[in-house]
Structure 1
Amino acid sequence: MRRKTIKAQTAATEELMNQPKTAAAAIARINPFMYGLLGALGVLVALVLGGIVDQLATVLVYIGVAIFLALGLDPIVTWIERKLPRPAAVAIVVSVVVLAFAGILLAIVPILVEQISNLIKDGPKMVQDFMASDWFKSISEQFGSTFDDAAQGVLSFIQDPGNILNISGGVFAVGAGIAGGFTGVTIVLILTLYFMASLRSMKKVSARFVPAYQRETFSGLLEDVSGAVGRYVMGQASLALINGILSLIMLTIIGAPVPALLALIAFIGSMIPLVGTLSASIINSLICLIVSPITALIAFIYYLVYMQIEAYVLSPRIMNKAVAVPGALVVIAAVAGGALGGILGALVAIPVAASIIIIVQKVVFPTQDAKVVPPGTLSER
């Protein structure tokens, strides 16, 4: 009887042991299918998210530029806030920015339309006068008939009414692009207004995503990063404003065509690190060729001198106070940002580099310094 009881218990135990193995085998057979299905769903979700991001790329760029401008204008708002409430300070800053933008449009657009109309109407005569100049004759004598044939081809192109219509169509296309750009600028200004008004609340909400015991450190780090971005934007805007004002004065003195437009080109170019000032200087000097080669030469010499002063006098004094980034990292960040995101990438690359440096100095380095070798380890022996 006892043996039968032992055998029954053994059989029951084996049956219980076999049941989990059978379930595990069934799960093992099901898992590859489930893993494949989940993987396929993950890829599908990633593709859908990628498509959404691609469709919203323009909107995301607007939001990024608006946040960048809000952080850049926040130091001015903070300074005005010492005497006035924050809503009034935000309203003053936004009003000044909108009035400046409207003033630029009112000063540039009518002149630009007039100059384009005159260029279409007087283009053939300008080419004939250019070909009759002593400078053109000397170049023709130096290079022979090839240069003269090329000039005649340009004159024939301009005199053809069909080509004039093509040029007009291109001008209309440029006008449509300008209208689209104006719409984008308007959206960015509106978003900048909202972001400036709610910047502090946005920072507080961002801190809520961090555990409570780390919020104080995170808030301090966020303030340092936003301050670095703001100081960089103000420093770069100061350099661009200096270049724009000096360009307007110089180009007006030498009689350059549309000096206000060329000054705006110089201002926009100076907002782009490294290559912006050089590119704008070359463009303005080439446009001055419309007046005379001497005017273009004077403009080129002026910009050559100005770039040296900006590189060795203005930029170190302004940007060292704005954001402390080593020179090598400035070059690397600007080139990498331009390669990844074009002009916008080059604009935000240096403040991003400054933010990374701040994070490394205040998070990574203290963490590494706190890692001390325990006593009695092999390294101390």
Structure 2
Amino acid sequence: MKIQNPFRFGLVATLGVGLGLLIITSIISLQTILIYIGAALFIALGLEPIVGWLEKKHLPRWSAVLIVVLGVVVLVAGLVWMLVPIIAEQITKLVKLVPTIQQQIGDLSLVEYIKAQFPWVPVDNIIGEVGKFFSDVNSVANLTGGLLAFVVGVGSALFGVLIVLILTLYFTASLPSMKRGMYQLVPASKRANFADLSEQITSSVGRYVIGQASTAAINGVLSFIFLSIIQAPFPAVLAVVAFSFSLIPLVGTLTGSIIITLTCLIPGLGGVSTAIVAAIYYLVYMQIEAYVLSPRIMSRAVAVPGAVVVIAALAGGSLLGLLGALIAIPTAASILLIIKQVLIPRQNEL
């Protein structure tokens, strides 16, 4: 290739590279906001089937959206109302135990009491290491900085949840108009096919969210019933743990089951026998969920091969963390749908 004007070519190439770097830098700078938008859009697509079902019952869209949003708010408020009293009750019990502990200690100092109760623990060495830690200015500064970073992180997380809830409300209310606006950007000759494919993708994502939430709800309800029967500690809290982790594909149910089993193992709260019974129950339940519940529920939502599910979930989790793991499977289903309805027909025409 003969370059007629090297200066112009170099200038255009430099501007192109600079523009590409500017776009990449902007995406990195806005990654938190883009994650908020993606999460809100994902939730809105999950709520859309419910809103559509209410619209079929001759309700206006604004009232359908209001009912769905109020239902979500009531659900979250119910979970908080259920968890806060339990936490407060445990803190109250702990405070009431303080005088009893003091009475048991008697005239012994705290260090002597710990040595008497746990003779195998090197208490003196631990006290010496703790003293060295707090005498070091850098260690104290790092500890203070870590606590400050933790507080800031919690505040940022709460702010992010609020932003996602607000964006979800807007996206749910204006989803049809957003779709129509996007369709207008496509040439008229291809608009009908593009709209049909987009509706299939959004419907698939919505059904996937409903299916995953249904599976998690089944796990939460059954966990509450079972843990109440075996008198496990905090059955309501552990049921919420089971529900929350079951929302995560692949490893969510296993992770939640391990946490619940270890909680049942804590002395004074459960015991070895309670933990063994819980472990056996969750081993059986995971088999039922993997081979009975999930195939029946998810077969109506997305049709993705098992190997693609595993690869998509791992890749999504590595790229975007928890959000990536959640949206990986419907994203993979959307890509497969595009390949089947767009790419393969075009290849067959060549």
What interval of TM-score do these two structures reach, taking the shorter chain for normalisation? 0.7 to 0.9
Gaps of 5+ in 1: 1-24, 130-146, 372-381
1:340 equivalent to 2:319? Answer yes
3-state SS of 2:248 partner: coil
**CA positional deviation for 1:248:** 1.8
Relative distance call for 1:303 and 1:174 in structure 2 (3 A) is farther
Q: Which residue of 1 aligns with 2:53?
A: 79
Q: After the TM superposition, which residues 157-306 of structure 1 pair with which residues of structure 2 at under 5 Å, given as runs? A: 177-290=153-266, 291=269, 292-306=271-285
360-369 or 297-306: bigger deviation = 360-369
Corresponding position of 1:22: none
Shift of 1:173: 6.9
Q: How does 1:59-98 map to 2 (within 5 A)?
A: 59-83=33-57, 84-98=59-73
* Partner Cα separation in structure 1 for residue 120 and residue 14 of structure 2: 64
Tell whether 2:81 aligns with 1:102: no
1:233 is paired with a residue whose SS is: helix
Aligned to 2:120: 149
Shift of 1:247: 1.4
Q: By how many angstroms is 1:188 displaced?
A: 1.1
Match of 2:303 in 1: 324
Q: Using a 3 Å threshold, how does the CA distance of structure 1 residues 168 and 282 change in structure 2: closer, same or farther?
A: farther
1:39 aligns with 2:13: yes
**Pair member with larger Rg:** 1
**Cα deviation digits, residues 165-202 of structure 1 (max 9, x gap):** 99999899766644432322221111111111111111
The residue aligned with 1:12 is none
- The equivalent residue for 1:17 is none
Letter in 1 for 2:335: I
* Displacement of 1:75: 0.6
Aligned match of 2:109: none
- Which ranges in structure 2 are unaligned for 5 or more consecutive residues? 105-117, 135-139
Tell me which amino acid in the other structure corresponds to 1:97.
V
In the TM superposition, what is the alpha-carbon distance from 1:361 to its structure 2 partner?
A: 1.6
Q: In the aligned structure 1, how far is the partner of 2:338 from the partner of 2:241?
A: 35
- Counterparts of 1:238 and 1:201, CA distance in 2: 28
Distance 1:153 1:274 in 2: 43
1:253 Cα offset (Å): 2.7
Partner residue, 2:286? 307
Alignment of 1:6-17 (within 5 A): none
Mapped to 1, the partners of 2:50 and 2:143 lie a distance apart of 44
> What CA RMSD, in Å, does the superposition of the two structures yield over aligned residues?
3.4
Q: Number of residue pairs matched?
A: 320
Amino acid at match of 2:49: P
Following superposition, the deviation at residue 345 of structure 1 comes to: 1.1
Residues 133-163 of structure 1, C-alpha deviation per residue, up to 9 Å, x if partnerless? xxxxxxxxxxxxxx9735x659x78xx9999
* Corresponding position of 2:340: 361
Give TM-score scaled by structure 1 length.
0.74
SS at match of 1:198: helix
Alpha carbons of 1:175 and 1:239: their partners in 2 closer, same or farther (altered >3 Å)?
farther
For residues 283 and 172 of structure 1, the distance between their equivalents in structure 2, rounded to whole angstroms, comes to 28
Q: Measure, in 2, the Cα distance between the counterparts of 1:109 and 1:168.
A: 28
Secondary structure of the corresponding residue to residue 315 of structure 1: helix
TM-score (norm 2): 0.81
Q: What amino acid is the match of 1:357? A: L
